[in-house]
Amino acid sequence: MVTFIIRRLIATVFLLIVVSMITFAIFFLIPRLAGQTSYQLATQYVGRNPTRAAVLQIEAKLHLNEPIYAQYGRFLRGLVFGEHYNSGTSTTYCPPPCFGYSFKSQQPVWPQMVSSLPVTASLAIGAAVLWLIGGVTIGVISALRRGTIFDRFSMGIALAGVSLPIFFTGLISLELFSYKWPIFPNVTFVPLTQNPLLWARNLVLPWVTLAFLYAALYARLTRAGMLETMSEDYIRTARAKGLQERTVIVRHGLRAALTPIITIFGMDLGALLGGAIITEHTFSLNGLGQFTVLAVENQDLPEILGVTMLAAFFIIIANLVVDILYAVVDPRVRH
Amino acid sequence: MLRRGRAGGGLEQQEAAAGVSVPGPGSSSMLEVRDLKIHFPTDDGLVKAVDGVSFSLDRGRTLGIVGESGSGKSVTSLGIMGLHHGSNADISGHIWLDGEDLVPASAARVRQLRGSKIAMIFQDPLSSLHPYYTVGYQIAEAYLIHNKVSKKAAKEHAVDMLGRVGIPNPQTRVDDYPHQFSGGMRQRAMIAMALSCDPELLIADEPTTALDVTVQAQILDLISSLQDEFGSAVIIITHDLGVVAELADDILVMYAGRMAEYGTAEDIFDRPGHPYAWGLLSSMPRLDRARTERLTPIPGTPPSLINVPKGCPFHPRCAYAANTNGRSQNEVPLLRPVGPGHEVACHLSTDEQRRIWAELLQTQLAPAASNGEDA
């Protein structure tokens, strides 16, 4: 088990390096191959009508005139140790992990990303708890009462949940519960540490909106998984032992049915932590998703690079956690 | 071999069918099944999976239920286990276990008996064991529900049971998962689980079908020796006549959910009366037949249980259906005694059955030596 985790951790580091190479190549190598000079690249860092001297200064400061592999090495070193930028008269220090400077704000990318992280994390984790509990519960009940009104009704709602886009359900919920009946009037982010009650209250609408989509998916998945497991031979064995039906369902049925759900849950949560773009945009929450949208709009390469790396990091970590959980849950993976 | 108290099954069957109040089993047998019917209403029609099955069984004895796939043998056993509760099955008739009728009993009561007084071994031990729990846990789980003991004591009991079914190093193997066991060991573990509460009745549903041929005999020996040790009654369900020949005292041959023939093992192997039983025996490879002899299969396929043929359900496949003046085609044959404790559901007269069987012995089954125990 320990060697398994160590092996996976090493693989994780390699994966991250590969991801960084590919992203770096996309953003810095391909434009160069297409004929963009380092001078042109440097122009993007300065204002609208830059002087040639200012551009050259930036070019030297950010080492844009160096060969691409040297820049990549510098980028990797910056991630681990931070980077000193020397602009002749003064040096600026970009602490690790240094993803470089933003074109737009002339600030290191990392602190800006970090400041938007709590918003996304609050949104994603809160919604995840909701959809996991709601989706799995509804899925299990639907499976056990297959064909009943409950089953048909909840699967109908689930179909709607899967089909309706967030910008639709989100706006409807805002219209109803924020404007018409102002139960949750403000959807602005308040840090958890500052006021937990307000934090939760302000996030209820985005949570429910996001969770509705995923809960619908999870309810359907759980229902299908549960139906399959409950027809397994070992369920018949459990009944033949004389176990209570509840024990049969929870200990023997649900445990097996939940295993694939864990995988999907990990991946979904990992992906959302990299930015719940549509939800954040709909509710004007300044999380990583909004950060990404702005970075793309501004064609701010260092920011896009940073956000891509961070999102990849979350997904890879989620993958690792899922694999470890899988081994914990299923002994056949362990041995 | 002497018959035990299974008096005049035919008469009692009629009484039960006519709705005459039957206060209790007609005999002192531990298990008495009478006129058991298990029907499943489906969109395509009523599936009569089991249609009027009666038999009885005592402690220490073994009943073999033989038939093709879909003959209702597994449905019968699941019915005795009460595992059709909660499904849409329509169950009627009687299943008396120690005088208590399980058919009208509450689901909770049947659940209490399940695992403690009646236990079951299934066909495929790998899929029948939960992959996520240790073998020891799964055995202890059965013991814990029915006995007020600590978890530690239950685990010790599991180790003890694993040892008794012949698993080496039970102290360490108890913490293994099913996938770490070989096929034969898994079935041994299933047997340990089934016997952990010392049941009076053990139902083995094709216990050797999924196993290696070399392991099959070991498992059958194990069941037989544990039966002696625990004194349980055993119902063994199989399509393999070799298995029943080895273990069974009595044999029930089922066809399309109905009883075709019921008697002692000697009756069925030495003087079978039903053409279906003849077919089963002719299609069984035997060491005492010439090696060049080809096996004689039963033509056709088992009927759909929704559209059971009119008359005798076996008549479309029966070579002798023409000998009954059209009765086989139109009339459902009732089970009638042809010898002491030996009943056959066939329109052929007893004499004719004997004559044809004697002929078969001379032709298809020659040079079969039919002296008592068959190999």
Asked if residue A150 and residue A9 are part of one domain, the reply reads: no
Q: Tell me, what's the pLDDT at B370?
A: 46
B10 min Cα distance to partner chain A (Å): 32
- Give yes or no: residues A61 and A131 share one domain: no
In this prediction, residue B137 carries a pLDDT of 96
Q: Is the CB of residue B315 less than 8 Å from the CB of residue B309?
A: yes
CA–CA dist B31, B54 (Å, integer): 10
Give the mutation candidate from B120, B132, B134 for the A interface (greatest A CB count, under 10 A). B132
Residue of higher predicted confidence among B242 and A125: A125
Which pLDDT belongs to residue B25? 64
- Domain residue limits at A160: 109-334
The string of pLDDT tens digits covering residues A59-80 is 888 888 888 888 898 888 888 8
Q: Has residue A99 been placed in a domain?
A: no
My answer on whether A62 and A164 are in the same domain is no
Among A36, A68, A94, the domain boundary falls at A94
What is the torsion angle, in degrees rounded to the nearest 10, for the CA atoms of residue B266, residue B269, residue B271 and residue B277?
130
Give me the tens of pLDDT residue by residue for chain B, a chain 375 residues long.
333 433 444 444 444 444 444 456 666 789 999 999 999 998 888 999 999 999 999 999 999 999 888 888 989 999 999 988 767 889 999 999 998 999 999 889 999 999 999 999 998 899 999 999 999 999 999 999 999 999 999 999 999 999 999 999 999 999 999 999 998 999 999 999 999 999 999 999 999 888 888 888 888 999 999 998 888 999 999 988 888 888 899 999 999 999 999 999 999 999 999 999 998 888 877 766 665 567 778 888 888 888 888 889 999 999 898 888 888 999 899 999 998 989 999 999 999 999 999 988 887 776 644 444 444
Size of interface A-B (CB pairs under 8 A): 70
Question: Within a domain: residue A104?
Answer: no
CB distance B141–A241 less than 8 Å? Answer: yes
Supply φ then ψ for residue B45, to 5 degrees: 140, 180
Query: In the 8-state DSSP scheme, what is residue B180?
Result: G
Q: Answer whether B332's CB lies under 8 Å from B74's CB.
A: no
Give tens-digit pLDDT for A240-297.
999 999 999 999 999 999 988 988 999 999 999 988 899 999 998 999 999 999 999 9
Cα separation values, A130 from A124, A134, A136, Å:
10, 6, 10
Q: Report how far Cα B167 is from the mean position of its chain's Cα atoms.
A: 26
Q: Is residue A192, in this structure, part of any structural domain at all?
A: yes
Residue A149 belongs to some domain of the structure:
yes
Number of domains in chain A: 2
B209 touches chain A (CB under 8 A): no
Nearest to B124 by CA among B26, B205, B8, B232: B205
A303 domain-assigned: yes
**A188 in a domain, yes or no?**
yes
Query: What value of ipTM does the predicted structure carry?
Result: 0.83
Q: Which residue of A lies nearest to B205 if distances are taken between CA atoms?
A: A237
The mean pLDDT of A118-146, rounded to a whole number, is 94
* Residue A74 shares a structural domain with residue A169: no
pLDDT at B29: 84
Say whether both A137 and A218 belong to one domain.
yes
Give the domain CATH number at A227. 1.10.3720.10
State how far the Cα of A169 lies from the Cα of B161, in Å rounded to an integer.
Answer: 59
Which residue of chain A has the CA closest to B192? Answer: A241
A133 and A67: one domain? no
Mean pLDDT over A143-147 rounds to: 90
* Tokens read off for A37: 């000079």
Residues in chain A, total:
335
Let me know whether A223 and A291 are in one domain.
Answer: yes
What pLDDT, on a 0 to 100 scale, did the predictor assign at position B288? 67
Same domain, A6 and A152: no
Q: List residues bridging with B37 in a β-sheet.
A: B51, B92
Task: List residues bridging with B119 in a β-sheet.
Answer: B202
The chain A residue lying nearest B144, using CA atoms, is: A243
B125: preceding bond cis by omega (within 30 degrees):
no
How far is residue A83's CA from residue A75's CA, in Å, rounded to a whole number?
9
Reduce the DSSP state of residue A277 to 3 states and report it. helix
pLDDT at B24: 62
Neighbour-count burial for A32-62, b at 16+ CB within 10 Å, e otherwise: beeeeebeebbbbbbeeebeeeebebbbbbb
Domain-located, residue A102? no
Any idea which residue has 């041959």 for tokens?
B253
Closest Cβ opposite residue A236 in set B113, B122, B180: B122
Q: Which residue of A has its CA nearest to B134?
A: A331
Q: Which two tokens stand for residue A254?
A: 């649900």
In whole angstroms, give the CA distance from residue A96 to residue A74. Answer: 12
Task: Answer with the one of A43, A65, A94 that is the final residue of a domain.
Answer: A94
Confidence at residue B8, expressed as pLDDT on a 0 to 100 scale: 40
Residues A118 and A201 in one domain: yes
Q: Which pLDDT band holds residue A211 (cuts at 50, 70, 90)?
A: very high
Residues A129, A82 within the same domain: no
Closest CA of chain B from A62, distance in Å: 55
The C-alpha of B327 sits at a distance from chain A's nearest C-alpha, in angstroms, of 42
Beta-sheet strands, E only, within chain B = 31-42, 45-57, 62-66, 90-97, 100-101, 118-121, 201-205, 233-238, 250-255, 258-264, 336-339, 342-344
Whether A140 and A22 map to the same domain: the answer is no
Tell me which of A46, A67, A94 is where a domain ends.
A94
Q: Which residue of A has its CA nearest to B142?
A: A241
Check whether residue A276 and residue A188 sit in a common domain. Answer: yes
Is the pLDDT assigned to residue A302 strictly greater than 70? Answer: yes
Side-chain half-sphere exposure of B232, counting CA atoms within 13 A: 26
Say yes or no for a CB contact (<8 Å) between A233 and B128.
Answer: yes
CB contact under 8 A, B115 and A256: no
Q: Cα–Cα–Cα angle for B313, B314, B320, nearest 5°?
A: 135
Q: Are A135 and A218 in contact (CB under 8 A)?
A: yes
| C-alpha–C-alpha distance, residues A168 and A209, integer Å | 9
Beta-carbon count within 10 A of A157 CB: 15
Q: Is residue A100 part of a domain?
A: no
Q: What is the pLDDT of residues A23-50, one digit of tens each?
A: 888 888 888 888 888 888 888 777 677 7
Q: Which positions 126-185 of B are in contact with A (Cβ < 8 Å)?
A: 127-132, 134, 138, 141-142, 145-146, 177, 179-180
